[in-house]
Amino acid sequence: MSAISLLMGLLLLSYVGSLIIGGQKARGLPSGIEFLALGFAVGPHALGLVERSMIAEFEPLVQVALGWLAFVVGLDFGRVNGRRVRAKPMVLGVFCAVLTGGTVALTVYRFFCYVSPFGIDPTGVLLLACGAGAVSAETTRFGVQWVAVRWNVKGPVATLLVEIASADDFAPLVAAGAIFAFAPSTHVTLVMPGAGWFLLSLSLGGLLGTVTALLLRGAEGYTVWGALIGTLLLGVGTATRFGFCTIFVTFTMGIALASASPHRRALRRMVTPTERAVLYPMLLLAGAHIDARPLLENRMLIAVVALALLARVVGKLLSGFVLRATLPAARPAGPLFGIVLLSSGPVSVSCGFAFALRFPGRVGDTLLVCAAASAVLGELVSTFALKNLLTQLGEATTVPPPPLAPIKTAPSVPPPPPSFEAARTRSTSAPPGAIR
Amino acid sequence: MSGSAPHGKTWVGRGIDMLSLLILSCIMWGAGTLVPGHEGEAAVLGALGFLLLAGTLLSELVEVLGMPHLTGYLFAGILAGPHVLHLVDHASVKRLEPVNTLAIALIALAGGAELRIATLKQELRSLVVALALQTILGVVLIGGVFALARPAFVANLPFTGLVGASMLWGVLAIARSPSALLGVLSQTRANGPLARFSLAQVMASDIVVVVMLAAAITLARPLLDPGTTLSTSAFRALGHEILGSVSLGTTLGLVLAAYLKVSGGQLLVVLFALGFGATEVLHYLNYEPLLTFMVAGFVVQNFSKQGERFIHAIEQTGGVVYVVFFACAGAHLNVPLLKDFWSTALLLTVARAVVTIGTARLSSLIAKDQPAVTKYGWSPLISQAGIALGIASIVAAKFPSFGSGFRDVAIACVALNEMVGPVLFKLAIDRAKETKAPTPSLSDVEDAPPAASV
């Protein structure tokens, strides 16, 4: 397959993804692992239709896609369906992610205290443990949203879950930023401790977000997209150059932009529909990048992946207990509430992919496999557990959502650039009361 | 990026724009200084982002001086490029070339879609006269000036050789810049006799130049190399190329029109697929992408009801792509070369401008054009960019005896025309009162009442 064919394939996926945004049905799987699987199937380690060199050629595109997804998460961080996430679920969402990530990281690290890590140096072991924690921390909001749309879910537990799932993206992205900061690029001439690099990457994201907000004051037409894409590319380019975590930098950028710009609502309406269009090609390339050879050569790494998954289950069960103990709305969910938090998806895979690109070899490949395995586990266990739970609680019905009436635009509205108009139409096209 | 005057851009706003530009430049400089010698993908991404931002910001700053945005994009590229501040290195500029592929496709699609049969019928007489005079007088007179000036790189050629080189220079001189034209038109959203005539003339002149180049190369070869004989094979190849491009362009246009009618969604992705995928196929088939896409746009506009929608989609995508395209063109400009050849380049540029203006006036008198066209019809013809550079490269490759000098002087001339041309055209459009109001800003969208959903 030539590079141009791969590009056409990615554009086709992007096309499919952007069609799904406009749809009312929950199409595909919530974590998008089917695209991951497709990528693996066509990748160099299965059918070989896409060669490794070609994936390397597309690395800039991957970095931008990862950056864009994290930017969208940052821009919409702390909000669900246009309204602010309540403080308590927000704090608990982050805490639960830290708890799960910490459990996984500690378990993997302790494992290597008893077992010799063949071919991985002590720094690599630390990186592997912390990275496993970062890629295992998330509960994807897509899982809850998927169930919500498919079974017309409404109720306090579903709302709580989507809030927690939305808030907990913070932990893995910040953890990835911190881990990368302790291993800056070898080309950098400046010597600084890890904390300094972390602050620098944080400042880069914050500064670019603020500059974007300044640039968007009264911006018109294509200049809005120009400013967004321009700062994102500059951010991704600079972060990659320094060896920073691109997804952390752009996530920070998104938060800073949402905080500093008075146009945050319009921006969210513009940007959010692009998420799936970027996500599917990214998942395909992530799948193609999965290399299981290091794991097969060093069986110890298979044990690491299994252990990380087990620790994730324990971490999420603990999180379930914490949530039930602190939030009255979560109490009816029962003792296995943590199981429904097991779904993982784009943020985990993005983290895993970012690690695989930055630390190629055993560590990076293991972390990407870890992220993919976590998504598969979540898909097998969590989605249906969630559906069953919400049905038991009476929050899910089998009645399909009511069809939408045609949308009319107020005639007094000045003709906005079509991107905003489309964004507004899309934002109003969600079924009333449904959780997006 | 605080919008244009109607959106209340204040001096404070412009100050903030400058401050933002300074911060972004510092980030680029910091990255280049602290991570030296890094010419990988990261540098390319950074360069792309910086050129996009700097181009947009500078375009709004030069707007105060009444200059077109395009000039701002070019200046951003020149300043940031490898010959001035070196914020963007040469390798990065080179690796950004795929953007040109997409930009050329969008420019040609937009150009074709802007041409309406009704307008062409109305302007047919003017168009034929203008094209004929600009082509014949342009090649003869500008070629004549070139022969009289006899630049150093053709000083050793015999008289016949000089005639051949002058003919090639004449063809180079009649090349225009559709991208510059569309860049200015998309900024000003101009609509009127001048805008319509300019569009038709520049787009049509593209085809004429392609034919003229093939003819000039065929005729010049025996003049420059007496050992070779006149061959018509180039014309056969050209005929095949033109016919094939028109056929494929028509098919593409019909498919696009059908798609727009049936679905029409996700046009951004479709345009990207066209820009990269279709161009690759066209290169493989040895067809001319510019002509093919122009015909496709023309078909969508004139043989379906989807023209306006199509133009709108291209404008949306093109806006961002044009910034990078022109900023890259600016970064490509070889400033030291301009310094070396400034006198020759200036003489030839002035001669071209004088001949172009004179010929445009003459053709307007003959065709009895509307006042705006008579007065300013020359203004879109000054700009030169990619096509002229492409011709220079072809000449350099086909005639090595003088080609490299020819190309260097051509680059210097194109640099001058590229900087001056869009300014003159924008000025003319403004004077002819064909400029329209800008697009709504983010604030307008925020302030607008929400769409009523029932």
Residue the block writes with tokens 């380019």:
A237
Contact A420, A266 (CB under 8 A): yes
Digit-coded pLDDT (tens) for A81-90: 778 899 999 9
Tokens standing for B418? 């590229």
Question: CB–CB of B320 and A222 under 8 A?
Answer: yes
Domains of chain B: 5-96 (no CATH), 100-431 (1.20.1530.20)
**Band of the pLDDT at A419, cuts 50, 70, 90?**
very low
In a domain, A408, yes or no: no
Tokens standing for B160? 């016949």
With vertex at residue B32, the alpha carbon angle to CA B31 and CA B33, rounded to the nearest 5 degrees, is: 95
Instruction: Find the mean pLDDT for residues B199-228.
Output: 84
User: By the CB < 8 Å criterion, does A231 face chain B?
Assistant: yes
Query: Which of the residue ranges A420-424, B82-86, B322-326 has the most confident prediction, judged by mean pLDDT?
Result: B82-86
Give the distance from residue A329's alpha carbon to the nearest chain B alpha carbon, in angstroms.
32
In the predicted structure, residue A408 carries a pLDDT above the cut 70: no
In the predicted structure, residue A421 carries a pLDDT above the cut 70: no
- Predicted local confidence at residue B3, as pLDDT: 40
In a domain, A436, yes or no: no
With vertex at residue B354, the alpha carbon angle to CA B350 and CA B359, rounded to the nearest 5 degrees, is: 150
Residues 195-234 of chain B whose Cβ lies under 8 A from any Cβ of chain A? none
Chain A residues with CB-CB distance to B60 below 8 A: 223
**Band of the pLDDT at B38, cuts 50, 70, 90?**
low
Give the distance from residue A246's alpha carbon to the nearest chain B alpha carbon, in angstroms.
11
In a domain, A406, yes or no: no
Instruction: Find the mean pLDDT for residues B358-386.
Output: 91
Instruction: Find the mean pLDDT for residues A312-321.
Output: 94
Question: CB–CB of B445 and A405 under 8 A?
Answer: no
| Probe site for chain A from B14, B445, B446 (most A CB atoms < 10 A) | B445
CA B313 from centre of chain:
19
Contact A226, B56 (CB under 8 A): yes
Residues 288-327 of chain B whose Cβ lies under 8 A from any Cβ of chain A? 312, 315-316, 318-320, 323
| Probe site for chain B from A4, A7, A10, A11 (most B CB atoms < 10 A) | A11
The backbone torsions φ and ψ at residue B401, rounded to the nearest 5 degrees and listed phi first, read -65, -35
Domain, as residue range, for A365? 3-399+414-428
In the predicted structure, residue A391 carries a pLDDT above the cut 60: yes
Contact A216, A227 (CB under 8 A): yes
Instruction: Find the mean pLDDT for residues A218-230.
Output: 82
**Band of the pLDDT at B451, cuts 50, 70, 90?**
very low
User: By the CB < 8 Å criterion, does B26 face chain A?
Assistant: no
**CA contacts within 13 A on the Cβ side of A229:** 19
Given B270, B320, B449, which is nearest A225 (Cβ)? B320
Question: CB–CB of A59 and B41 under 8 A?
Answer: yes
CATH number of the domain encompassing residue A9: 1.20.1530
Chain B residues with CB-CB distance to A219 below 8 A: 1-3, 441-442
Give the distance from residue B23's alpha carbon to the nearest chain A alpha carbon, in angstroms.
8
Given A220, A412, A421, which is nearest B7 (Cβ)? A220
User: By the CB < 8 Å criterion, does A264 face chain B?
Assistant: no
With vertex at residue B428, the alpha carbon angle to CA B427 and CA B434, rounded to the nearest 5 degrees, is: 105
Contact B326, B339 (CB under 8 A): no
**Band of the pLDDT at B226, cuts 50, 70, 90?**
confident
Question: CB–CB of B44 and A60 under 8 A?
Answer: yes
Instruction: Find the mean pLDDT for residues B51-58.
Output: 91
User: By the CB < 8 Å criterion, does A410 face chain B?
Assistant: yes
Residue the block writes with tokens 């938060």:
A255
In the predicted structure, residue B403 carries a pLDDT above the cut 80: yes
Question: CB–CB of A4 and B280 under 8 A?
Answer: yes
CB atoms within 10 A of CB A94: 18
In a domain, A405, yes or no: no
Question: CB–CB of B440 and A415 under 8 A?
Answer: yes
What is the rounded average pLDDT for all residues in chain B?
Answer: 84
User: By the CB < 8 Å criterion, does B452 face chain A?
Assistant: yes
Digit-coded pLDDT (tens) for A48-80: 888 878 888 888 889 999 999 999 999 999 888
User: By the CB < 8 Å criterion, does B269 face chain A?
Assistant: yes
Higher per-residue confidence, A157 vs B437: A157
- Predicted local confidence at residue B8, as pLDDT: 53
In the predicted structure, residue B186 carries a pLDDT above the cut 90: no
User: By the CB < 8 Å criterion, does B20 face chain A?
Assistant: yes
In a domain, A433, yes or no: no
**Band of the pLDDT at B441, cuts 50, 70, 90?**
low
The domain tally of chain A equals 1
Q: How many CB pairs under 8 A join A and B?
A: 236
In the predicted structure, residue A6 carries a pLDDT above the cut 80: no
CB atoms within 10 A of CB B366: 14
In a domain, A305, yes or no: yes
Contact partners, residue B390, CB within 8 Å, separation at least 6: none
Query: Which of the residue ranges A350-364, B391-405, B407-421 has the most confident prediction, judged by mean pLDDT?
Result: A350-364
- Predicted local confidence at residue A27, as pLDDT: 66
Longest CA–CA span in chain A (Å) reads 71
Give the distance from residue A152's alpha carbon to the nearest chain B alpha carbon, in angstroms.
20
Contact B309, B37 (CB under 8 A): no
Chain B residues with CB-CB distance to A223 below 8 A: 1, 3, 56, 60, 319
Instruction: Find the mean pLDDT for residues B181-208.
Output: 86
In the predicted structure, residue B449 carries a pLDDT above the cut 60: no
Measure the CA–CA gap between B74 and B51, rounded to whole angstroms: 10
Chain A residues with CB-CB distance to B452 below 8 A: 408-410
Given A187, A221, A414, which is nearest B448 (Cβ)? A414
**Band of the pLDDT at B454, cuts 50, 70, 90?**
very low
Digit-coded pLDDT (tens) for B62-87: 888 878 888 888 889 989 988 888 89
Residues 57-86 of chain B whose Cβ lies under 8 A from any Cβ of chain A? 57, 60
Question: CB–CB of A185 and B35 under 8 A?
Answer: yes
- Predicted local confidence at residue B407, as pLDDT: 83
Longest CA–CA span in chain B (Å) reads 80
Question: CB–CB of B276 and A263 under 8 A?
Answer: no
In a domain, A349, yes or no: yes
What is the rounded average pLDDT for all residues in chain A?
Answer: 84
Exposed / middle / buried, residue A358 (Cβ in 10 Å: 0-12, 13-18, 19+): buried
Digit-coded pLDDT (tens) for B145-165: 999 988 888 888 889 899 999
Quote the percentage of chain B above a pLDDT of 90. 28
Question: CB–CB of B38 and A187 under 8 A?
Answer: yes
In the predicted structure, residue B438 carries a pLDDT above the cut 90: no
User: By the CB < 8 Å criterion, does A360 face chain B?
Assistant: no
Higher per-residue confidence, A282 vs B454: A282
In the predicted structure, residue B309 carries a pLDDT above the cut 60: yes
**Band of the pLDDT at A417, cuts 50, 70, 90?**
very low
Contact A24, A149 (CB under 8 A): yes
**Band of the pLDDT at B267, cuts 50, 70, 90?**
confident
Measure the CA–CA gap between A39 and A280, rounded to whole angstroms: 10
User: By the CB < 8 Å criterion, does A191 face chain B?
Assistant: no
Measure the CA–CA gap between B7 and B441, rounded to whole angstroms: 7
Give the distance from residue B295's alpha carbon to the nearest chain A alpha carbon, in angstroms.
23
- Predicted local confidence at residue B118, as pLDDT: 86
Contact partners, residue B427, CB within 8 Å, separation at least 6: B66, B379
Measure the CA–CA gap between A357 and A101, rounded to whole angstroms: 21
- Predicted local confidence at residue A23, as pLDDT: 47
Measure the CA–CA gap between A423 and B331, rounded to whole angstroms: 35
- Predicted local confidence at residue B111, as pLDDT: 81
User: By the CB < 8 Å criterion, does B400 face chain A?
Assistant: no
In a domain, A311, yes or no: yes
Exposed / middle / buried, residue B316 (Cβ in 10 Å: 0-12, 13-18, 19+): buried
- The string over A303-328, giving b where at least 16 C-beta atoms fall within 10 Å of a residue's C-beta and e elsewhere, is ebbebbbebbbbbbbebbebbbeebe
What type of residue sits at position A306? A
User: By the CB < 8 Å criterion, does B14 face chain A?
Assistant: no
